[in-house]
Chain A
Amino acid sequence: MLSRVAAQLYWMSRYLERAENMARILEVGQSLAMLSSQNGPREAAEAALEPLVITDTVAAFQASGRATRADQVAQFLAWDESHPSSIVNCIKTSRENARAVRGAMTAEMWECINDTWMGLMQRQNASRSRKPAADTAFFEWVKERSHLFRGVTFATIQRDQPYHFIRLGTHIERADNTARILSVKTRIQREGGTDMVDDYYRLGAVLRSVSALEAYRDTYRDAINPDRVAELLIFNPGFPRSLLFCTEISRQILDRLPQQSGRLARRRAAELLAKLQFGNLQEVYASGLETYLETFVKDTIALADAVHTDYLETLA
């Protein structure tokens, strides 16, 4: 298929996944801010900044001149049109990519993404006098729309290259996101030491943000323990947002794509997958969780770059 069309499908799904993840990050941020407000204003302010730390946007936020408060952070990441990765911009970009290649997807898929965009605009316009809501109900809506689009895609599109590129975008974006959310864990543990009750709420919030609370319970049937949270989100082969799972899916998809191109992408995916398949927590802690996750994010970016060069770039 045409590289341009593949690229537009890939970015359509990456941006939709990014919007969903932004909603997840803001959700966990609000939970942590609420929990931290009991421990004094300094910690509350730190917790409020957490979504910015996760998304590498502290500097951009400060440049926007907003006050360091949880509600301002949420407004910035959800609705700020000058911020390229805000939810509103992610959905806009996703829908624009879809619009350009309507012919490459089913009518139902197009209608779903277009309705999402219209719904978002309604929410924005409905609150002209005050700020559009950036609350749990809104985050839930964003997640729901993203789930709906995936479901419609799953149910309607032919299993062919367009489908593969859509899924590849989702899983590369998702792997990156899980690694970033997990990095929160290292920061929320930095000071307090181990406090079972505190761990339960804070780590619980992290798990909920990646829909992993049930998976955790079913896997460990025990209290929430920081090591197991890391293990679940990094190494669990069956949890759909774990680093191993997302990387495995990316590798499988690359195997189904045309083999004339994609040598570098396949190699990077295989290397990254091997690290995860044959790794363990001891190894993670040896380098430090934060360093490990940073390396993973860099490796995923390198994989995405290879996908771009091999398949998606026009003009040879």
Chain B
Amino acid sequence: MRKPAAPAGATRINTIVTVGIFNEMVSAAGEPRPHYAALDEWLKGISSETVQAKRNEADLIFRRTGITFSLGGEDGGTERLIPSDLVPRIIDSTEWAFLERGLVQRVKAINMFLHDVYHGQKILKSGLVPADQVLANAQLMPLMMGLDLPHQTYAHITGVDIIRHADGDFYVLEDNLRVPSGVSYMLSNRILMMRLFPDLFYRYAVRPVEHYPALLLQTLRGATLVEQPTIVLLTPGRFNSAYFEHAFLAKQMGIELVEGSDLFVRDDLVYMQTTEGPQRVDVIYRRIDDAYMDPLAFAPDSMIGVPGLAAVYRMGNVVIANALGTGVADDKSIYPYVPEMVQFYLGEEPLLKNVQTWQCRKPAELSYVLANLGDLVVKEVHGAGGYGMLVGPASTKAEIAEFAERVRARPDNYIAQPTLSLSACPTFVEQGLAPRHIDLRPFVLSGKTTTIVPGGLTRVALREGSLVVNSSQGGGTKDTWVLEAPEAA
């Protein structure tokens, strides 16, 4: 079903109508969707030489500003760029308004769920969420029981992964309530696009995202009851793959980038060691997993945590964002119940859909999963980063058989979902423009109010046919444009 006589040049492939998947740019009839029309026209006028020149320029800007993705290791050679595609992903104002409402609703309900789990456990008593699923969950943090947090906020920063299915609807894939990353790419993609293609920003009224660090700082300030709080960003250190982002955000917010060894606990308070002497710390924006936060309370061999921190936290003398123990709500075994949470706590119909999920711990669902492995995506309950998963349709029989063994051995460790057809967006590849699968990670900031900068991070699977968008697995990113609402005529 190709559009006949596509024009030659860089844009040749972009009007292919993708069968069975939602094409963000082109409608089923082969016409550019209204909000992509101007981009389509612009793309048709751009030569492949210009594209190559702009890509080189982009590379240079990224390298010079040090926007790299560290694969760990000692020497400079292990740092590489996350490819940034030069075709923006566009979301029109109506769609975004819907997404925004859905995200606010969902994250609110999740925060209420977390408060409930660590207090009255009403939802467990009601039987809506099976108590054993929560109480025996490895992510449940007994330390949090009965602890009151300012504004009852647990997940201050949430990076919800959303995809658009073939039916054109948005589905939430994961809620990412622990230490979501990627926001620095959202910000640097915008800087890059504005530098490379200023003319496009005259054609489109794109809503700004550059104020994210200011909103984040405001959220962190509001996360404590202390006036004029001292806020720090706690990083595992420069060998962490997201270190660039930690340094970037700390600098943008004007707060100290600290490592565990910079902090210490004395007389039930947390201090950082500065050249002016010890300085009290009120809020820790941590980019370290729960288990490594305090070697006295959790993993004793953690070299990156702060001894005694958990006890101070428990006394309410420091705020940790996100709170400890939020993982119990983004565990893949709890995920299926989020729509119920929305109804239970808010009395509202959930706006965002969940992906159908089979829980292998339930015998009936396990047998369905094992019988249909070839069509399903199977994931570890606690997994992240695209590791430890099986994409049925893309796997060999041997791989499927091997994975089936792993699922049979530990069914409670796995969930399965249908293979979703992530929507596609035109992307520059070797041959020119071609549709590639994308997802969307908006960043939701919660506190007294809930705020979201328009859009988020769009990740793109650069390999043809690939559905895995993770940067550790060869994914790239795109600038994400949310358009201003057209002025009322």
Q: Which residues of A contact B (CB under 8 A)?
A: 1-4, 6, 99-100, 102-103, 107, 114, 161, 165, 257-258, 260-261, 311-316
Contacts and interface: CB of A to CB of B under 8 A. Distances in A.
A313 B266 CA distance: 16
Interface in B229-287: 238, 247, 250-251, 256-259, 261-262, 264, 266, 271-278
Contacts of A261: 275-277
B66 A4 contact: no
A316 B247 contact: no
Contacts of B266: 316
B257 A103 contact: yes
A229 B261 CA distance: 46
Given A3-B262, A107-B64, A107-B66, A316 B275 contact: no
A316 B262 contact: no
16 contacts: A2-B256, A2-B262, A2-B274, A99-B238, A100-B238, A102-B66, A103-B250, A107-B66, A258-B276, A260-B276, A260-B277, A261-B275, A315-B264, A316-B271, A316-B273, A316-B278
A2 B263 CA distance: 10
A260 B279 CA distance: 12
Interface in B385-409: none
Given A3-B275, A103-B251, A314 B66 contact: no
Given A103-B247, A314-B261, A316-B264, A2 B272 contact: yes
Contacts of A107: 64, 66
B275 A258 contact: yes
A253 to B, nearest CB: 12
B247 A102 contact: yes
Complex A-B, nearest 3 residue pairs according to Cβ-Cβ distance, in ascending order: A258-B276, A3-B273, A314-B273
Nearest to B248: A103
B251 A315 contact: no
Nearest to A310: B275
Interface of B: 64, 66, 76, 238, 247, 250-251, 256-259, 261-262, 264, 266, 271-278
Contacts of A313: 273
B240 to A, nearest CB: 13
B250 A1 contact: no
B274 A1 contact: yes
B241 to A, nearest CB: 16
A315 B273 contact: yes
A114 B63 CA distance: 14
Interface centre among B238, B258, B273 (most CB of A within 10 A): B273
Nearest to A117: B76
Nearest to B237: A100
B121 to A, nearest CB: 40
A107 B66 CA distance: 9
Given A103-B250, A314-B261, A316-B266, A6 B275 contact: yes
Contacts of B261: 4, 314-315
Contacts of B276: 258, 260-261
Contacts of A260: 276-277
A309 to B, nearest CB: 12
Interface centre among B64, B261, B274 (most CB of A within 10 A): B274
Contacts of B273: 2-4, 313-316
A114 B77 CA distance: 12
A100 B276 CA distance: 21
Contacts of A258: 275-277
B418 to A, nearest CB: 44
Contacts of B247: 102-103
B168 to A, nearest CB: 43
Contacts of B76: 114
Nearest to A121: B75
B64 to A, nearest CB: 7
Nearest to A262: B275
A254 to B, nearest CB: 11
A260 B275 CA distance: 9
Contacts of B66: 102, 107
Interface centre among A6, A99, A102, A315 (most CB of B within 10 A): A315
Contacts of B251: 103
Nearest to A257: B275
Nearest to B266: A316
Nearest to B259: A4
Nearest to A165: B275
Nearest to A100: B238
A225 B101 CA distance: 85
A98 to B, nearest CB: 11
A165 B264 CA distance: 23
A191 B251 CA distance: 61
Contact of B262 (A4, A99, A165, A311): A4
Given A102-B66, A103-B250, A107-B66, A3 B271 contact: no
B413 to A, nearest CB: 38
A103 to B, nearest CB: 5
A4 B238 CA distance: 14
A2 B256 CA distance: 8
Contacts of B264: 314-316
A228 B46 CA distance: 74
